[in-house]
Structure 1
Amino acid sequence: MTSELLGQALVEEATKKSGLIWVRGDGAPAARAVWHVWHDGAVCLLGDGPGEQPLPGLADGGRAEVTVRGKDKGGRLVTWTAAVTELTAGSAEWDATVAELKGKRLNAPDGEAMTGRWARECRVLRLTPTGDTAPLPDGDLAASPLPSPATTRRPIPAALPRLLLRRRGRK
């Protein structure tokens, strides 16, 4: 029982403090970084409209995998499973959620009129934790870079340090 409570506390606190999370919905090939708001015990997302973040693979009634990073070093803290619910525009829950999202939305092109645009053109999703958390991986998950004609930087020319020191001496 206490381990479940600790898991819930970790999910809530880590997600609240992180400004960016990675979400992978059912059928999505990869996780996508999204901005969010933690409101009333769940992650709330806005997207799939013109000028807003895409939310591929997230459907009402589906599931999602949410990965939260640490604010200090940016490393993975916890990965948890969520139930996805799409909120109906104009409902009391939608209004409360949009009020929270509105405070976090940066650089909106239409200012105060954005909530009307969201109601017409966007989806507001609620990702509620199911209580399942995934164990942290043992190894790193870094993928090898794809082949590219780009090269790494070459060593600096031997004369460069002398040229830089000479410029400092003139001032």
Structure 2
Amino acid sequence: MTPALLDRALVEEATKKSGLIWVRGTGTADRALWHVWHEGAAYVVGGGPGEQPLEGLADGGTAEVTVRSKDKGGRLVAWTASVSEVAPHGELWEAVAAELKGKRLNAPDGEAVTGRWARECRVLRLAPASVRTAMPSDSLAARPVETPATTREPIPAALPKLLRKRRRR
């Protein structure tokens, strides 16, 4: 086997087994996205209300994808992806949407989720273009993305006592 085929196999297996991939689009920070692997590419859905944000990922653009180990959490492989949007209701879209629907947790509209995706969201194909075999030596740690979500108040003082009582029973 050639090194290129081995790299391709590593990308496919690591991405299939990982629940999340870290994606950096044009001008954005790395963002964790859930995905499915289908016929040689990772597919993500989002960009609409209640779905994962896909800022910086444009049809015809590129993205940097990092795949982590499912058990240890360390980086396994990083690859450059060519980004393309899948047109709603086509044969490919229907196949990918069915797989994505199976991985979508707690969809507010249940079985009708694919109809909402067709109306309000984008399904993107992230096809591997090149593989980086040399990993960076620094941590690549970054500040979390700004969000309006906050904790409303501190944990009540009695909570640790209540939790200890439950363990004794």
Q: State the TM-score, normalizing by the size of structure 2.
A: 0.81
In the alignment, what sits opposite 1:50? 49
- 1:63-106 Cα offsets, whole Å, 9 max, x none, are 00000000110011111000001011111111111011011001
Cα distance, 1:135 vs structure 2: 1.7
Q: Give, in angstroms, the shift of residue 37 of structure 1.
A: 0.4
The 8 Å contact of residues 87 and 125 in structure 1, kept in 2 or not, is answered as yes
1:153-168 superposed matches below 5 A: none
Residues 4 and 131, structure 1, Cα contact 8 Å, conserved in 2: no
Aligned mates of 1:141, 1:88 — CA distance in 2: 34
State the distance in 2 between where 1:101 and 1:142 align.
29
Instruction: Tell me the residue number matched to 2:9.
Output: 9
The residue identity in structure 2 corresponding to 1:10 is L
Aligned partners of 2:51, 2:64: CA distance in 1, in Å?
21
Whole-angstrom CA distance in 2 between matches of 1:96 and 1:131 = 25
Q: Distance in 1 between matches of 2:23 and 2:142?
A: 18
1:140 CA displacement: 3.0
The alignment's C-alpha RMSD in Å is: 1.7
**Does residue 1:22 correspond to 2:22, yes or no?**
yes
Give the Cα separation in 2 of the matches to 1:140 and 1:49: 32
CA shift, 1:26, in A, is 1.8
Count of paired positions = 144
Tell me the CA shift for residue 134 of structure 1: 5.0
User: Which amino acid in the other structure matches residue 115 of structure 1?
Assistant: T
The answer (yes or no) to whether the contact 1:68–1:79 under 8 Å persists in 2 is yes
CA distance, structure 1, for counterparts of residue 4 and residue 133 of structure 2? 13
Shift of 1:143: 5.6
Q: CA 1:50 to 1:133, structure 2 compared with 1: closer, same or farther past 3 Å? A: same
Q: Distance in 2 between matches of 1:140 and 1:107?
A: 33
Unaligned runs of 5+ in 2: 144-169
Contact 2:8 2:131 in 1 (8 A): no
Q: How do 1:1-171 and structure 2 match up within 5 A?
A: 2-28=2-28, 30-133=29-132, 135-142=134-141
Cα offset for 1:45?
0.2
CA contact (8 A) 2:86 2:92 kept: yes
> What secondary structure sits across from 1:139 in the alignment?
coil
Of the two, which has the highest radius of gyration? 1
- Rounded to whole Å, the distance in 1 between the matches of 2:3 and 2:139 is 26
In structure 1, list runs of 5 or more residues that go unmatched: 145-171
Contact 2:35–2:100 under 8 Å retained in 1: yes
SS in structure 2 of the partner of residue 137 of structure 1:
coil
Secondary structure of 1:45 counterpart: strand
